[in-house]
């Protein structure tokens, strides 16, 4: 307590527990606690145990300064998250219970760096039926989010002599940072109405891969045109590079046009990457790479060196959730909910003011709102912030040095149902405020 290691309010172990830990009689501990309570270091209350007293300031410790917390916006239409209030808690818990009851004792030890076979087997068949991916359980590596998958791929490519990774000019800064952290230069290629311009990929010197979001470009929302898909695969075959297909929201498509995974075109040249971050929640930290044979051993080794393997218990739970049909049910329900939200967003914004256009809405959990001529992103963002509404502008997603349209990237998955209407009303007001 004196040195500040035990802070005010910290609960101390029960006297019986501490006595057992220290190998002394329980009375010895009870006496010591009694003495410290008498001296004012500790407080003891029936039912809440023994705690470090609130008013004790360790000598020499810096005085506690009440720092104002940044006030969190009440409403949020930034992209990147599903509706966290809809996480299927009961189904996840039930799956965890079933998975843990059925797991052999060996499952609680160290395992395969690729992750539990049960999950890889479930994913191989799920990805085939839901996304048209061609995969066997052996070529799947479970990762802690797509983020780790991208880092592992970057590391392997850099080790094999690549100098760069081509990326779409618009995307997450975090992904660009992850690529750079592996020693690769992230080189942007333009994106137009047909998706990434693959001609420009060929101009990136030393590119070991191109990272694409073919089913729904993040954040512009366009699908990669069939011609460009074949072109990307031909480029990979010609140069020995790979295409990394980031299929982050492929489950959420609302028009009738099913857009299957590009991996099926050429499994030997495309790494397919999927994640549970949108279908369930980013907190699950489960994602999967389907790897071409030539990369498999190196990625498995990188995974093993990085963290040995992921959490077998979470992997078994997800395997059970998929096997029981609970995952598909949740995805189906979520798709319906998000589709309704998207429709409400579009109809609320259609008449907002001339010149405002909403695009990229055929899929996913976000849309792009192009501002009216003369309207500036920064003004709308500031006006929304004044109304307690957090928004993201396109500026936050472009690669350094790339021009960007004055536009907002609206995530409609985020607000819980009861807050969605208010969030959209405030968005309308912010859009109408500026000339
Ligand atoms: C474009 C894109 N790729 C991938 C991901 C998933 O990343 P992770 O699996 O690390 O949460 C996201 C966020 O959900 C994303 O927006």
| Structure confidence by residue, pLDDT tens digits, 231-258 | 999 999 999 999 999 999 999 999 877 7
Q: Is the pLDDT of residue 265 over 80?
A: yes
Kindly state if the Cβ of 216 falls inside 6 Å of ligand 1.
Answer: no
pLDDT at 435: 63
Mean pLDDT for the stretch of residues 398-414: 92
Burial label, 74 (beta-carbon count in 10 A; 0-12, 13-18, 19+):
middle
Whole-number Å distance between alpha carbons of 215 and 261: 7
Q: Report the phi/psi class of residue 360: left, alpha or beta, with left for phi > 0 and alpha for psi in -120 to 50.
A: left
pLDDT at 372: 93
355 CB-side CA count, 13 A: 12
Closest residue CA from atom 7 of ligand 1: 146
Q: Is the pLDDT of residue 21 over 90?
A: no
Report the Cα–Cα distance between both ends of the chain, in Å, rounded. 59
Whole-number Å distance between alpha carbons of 304 and 112: 9
Bond preceding residue 26 cis, omega within 30 of 0: no
**CB–CB of 209/165 below 8 Å?**
yes
Kindly state if the Cβ of 281 falls inside 6 Å of ligand 1.
Answer: no
Smallest Cα–Cα separation from 408: which of 145, 176, 78?
A: 78
Burial label, 372 (beta-carbon count in 10 A; 0-12, 13-18, 19+):
middle
Q: Is the pLDDT of residue 365 over 80?
A: yes
Whole-number Å distance between alpha carbons of 361 and 160: 39
Mutate-to-test residue for ligand 1 from 148, 152, 171, 172, highest number of ligand atoms within 8 A of CB: 172
Least confident residue range of 42-56, 155-169, 320-334: 42-56
What is the b/e burial string over 410-435, where b = at least 16 CB atoms within 10 angstroms of the residue's CB? bbbbbbeeeebeebbebbeebbeebe
Kindly state if the Cβ of 414 falls inside 6 Å of ligand 1.
Answer: no
pLDDT at 7: 86
Going by pLDDT thresholds of 50, 70 and 90, the confidence category of residue 322 is very high
Dihedral (Cα; 225, 230, 231, 235), 10-degree rounding: 140
Q: What is the CA radius of gyration of the chain?
A: 26
Q: Is the pLDDT of residue 270 over 60?
A: yes
């Amino acid at each position: 307590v004196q040195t500040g290691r035990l802070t005010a309010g910290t609960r101390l172990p029960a006297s019986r527990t501490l006595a057992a830990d220290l190998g002394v009689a329980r009375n010895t501990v009870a006496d010591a606690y009694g003495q410290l309570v008498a001296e004012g270091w500790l407080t003891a209350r029936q039912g809440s145990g023994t705690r470090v007293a609130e008013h004790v300031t360790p000598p020499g410790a810096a005085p506690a300064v009440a720092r104002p917390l940044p006030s969190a916006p009440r409403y949020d239409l930034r992209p990147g998250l599903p509706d966290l209030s809809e996480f299927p808690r009961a189904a996840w818990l039930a799956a965890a219970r079933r998975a843990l009851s059925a797991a052999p004792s060996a499952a609680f030890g160290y395992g395969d760096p690729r992750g539990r076979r049960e999950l890889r087997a479930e994913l191989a068949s799920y990805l085939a039926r839901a996304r048209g991916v061609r995969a066997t359980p052996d070529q799947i590596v479970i990762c802690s989010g797509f983020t780790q998958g991208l880092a592992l791929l970057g590391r392997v490519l850099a080790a094999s002599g690549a100098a760069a990774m081509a990326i779409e000019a618009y995307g997450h800064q975090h992904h660009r940072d992850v690529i750079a952290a592996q020693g690769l230069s992230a080189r942007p290629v333009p994106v137009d109405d047909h998706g990434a311009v693959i001609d420009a990929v060929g101009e990136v010197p030393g590119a070991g891969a191109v990272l694409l979001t073919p089913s729904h470009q993040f954040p512009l929302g366009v699908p990669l045109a069939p011609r460009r898909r074949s072109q990307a695969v031909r480029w990979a075959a010609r140069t020995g590079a790979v295409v990394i297909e980031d299929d982050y929201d492929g489950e959420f498509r609302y028009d009738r046009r099913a857009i299957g995974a590009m991996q099926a075109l050429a499994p030997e040249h495309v790494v397919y990457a999927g994640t549970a971050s949108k279908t369930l929640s980013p907190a699950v930290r489960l994602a999967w790479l389907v790897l071409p044979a030539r990369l498999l051993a190196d990625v498995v080794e990188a995974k093993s060196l990085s963290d040995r393997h992921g959490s077998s218990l979470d992997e078994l739970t997800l395997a059970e959730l998929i096997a029981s049909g609970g995952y598909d049910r949740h995805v189906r329900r979520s798709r319906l909910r998000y589709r309704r939200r998207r429709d409400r967003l579009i109809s609320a914004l259609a008449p907002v003011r001339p010149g405002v256009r909403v695009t990229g809405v055929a899929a996913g959990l976000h849309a792009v709102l192009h501002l009216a001529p003369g309207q500036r992103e920064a003004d709308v963002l500031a006006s929304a912030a004044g109304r307690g509404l957090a928004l993201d502008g396109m500026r936050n997603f472009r690669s350094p040095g790339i021009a960007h349209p004055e536009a907002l990237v609206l995530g409609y998955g985020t607000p819980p149902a009861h807050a969605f209407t208010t969030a959209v009303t405030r968005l309308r007001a912010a859009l109408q405020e500026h000339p």
